[in-house]
Amino acid sequence: MKRTAFALSASVAVVAAAIVSASAFSPVNAAQQPATQAPAAQATAPHVHPPNPTPTNLQVLPKNLTGDQVHEIMHKWEADLGGSCSTCHAADPKNIGPNGRPRLNFADDSKPEKATARLMYKMTEEINTQYISKVDNSGDPVTCGTCHRGHLGPQPFKATEDHDHDHPATPKQ
Ligand code: HEC
Ligand code: HEC
């Protein structure tokens, strides 16, 4: 039981953050702003957007997540990998946004990076439930950022040169 709770802790923290931020920017708050302030508020107010649409194609994330919860996780993955939404999501040439550029079709599965990300998510969950949770007093679950550290392809690890300074020199042949 303890192990299951541990494995889910990372996702739950993300979801909790999503719920907090969603309520802070609820449409009700926006509607209560006096109309006379609207033009100024549009220029300076933090980015307020309507709730994100309910996901239709979740295959590895819990299927009951709301659009806002998925959005929060996506922002985390984006930051952990140092990419953008279009790293994994394909543009839809038939759906042109106000800036004249095609919008992304988030439910579409045509980019190989999206399939890889699904594998990576399952791997990360398994590392946490099957292995990390078995370490006594382990507190930090593995996240995408543990390996990726802001890069789409994890960078090779280079050990510092002086790690073996106490060893005798290797005999020359
Ligand atoms: C590293 C790859 C990756 C990045 C970067 C990424 N996504 Fe995703 N996204 C996925 C994967 C994989 C899924 C499907 C998850 C599943 O199958 O449970 C998904 C699903 C979604 C969905 C749900 C679509 C549906 O209807 O099922 C939305 C919305 C979404 N992403 C938005 C975004 C946004 C917005 C960004 C940028 C802030 C973003 N994604 C960045 C990989 C990514
Ligand atoms: C245990 C380390 C580890 C973790 C944790 C991890 N990855 Fe990866 N990931 C890798 C490695 C290593 C590669 C490179 C594989 C290759 O290129 O052969 C990779 C490759 C990828 C790629 C493909 C990059 C490309 O160039 O096409 C994506 C997308 C990706 N990971 C997403 C994720 C996401 C999203 C998560 C978290 C849910 C995650 N990874 C967690 C190690 C990790």
In a domain, 8, yes or no: yes
CA quadruple 143, 144, 146, 149: dihedral sign: negative
The string of DSSP letters for 9-69 reads HHHHHHHHHHHHHHHHT-HHHHHHS-GGGHHHHHHHS----PPPPPPS--SSS-TT--HHH
Ligand 2 lined by 74 (C-beta under 6 Å) = no
Report the alpha-carbon distance of residue 101 to residue 11 in Å, rounded.
33
7: CB partners within 8 A, 6+ apart: 125, 128, 129, 133, 141
Ligand 2 lined by 114 (C-beta under 6 Å) = no
For atom 37 of ligand 2, which residue has the closest CA? 144
Ligand 1 lined by 86 (C-beta under 6 Å) = no
In a domain, 164, yes or no: no
Question: Which pLDDT tens digit goes with each residue over 16-55?
Answer: 444 444 444 444 444 444 444 445 445 556 667 788 999 9
Average per-residue pLDDT in the chain? 80
In a domain, 159, yes or no: no
In a domain, 170, yes or no: no
For atom 20 of ligand 2, which residue has the closest CA? 153
Q: Which residue type, as a one-letter code, is found at position 142?
A: V
The structural domain count of the chain equals 1
pTM of the model: 0.78
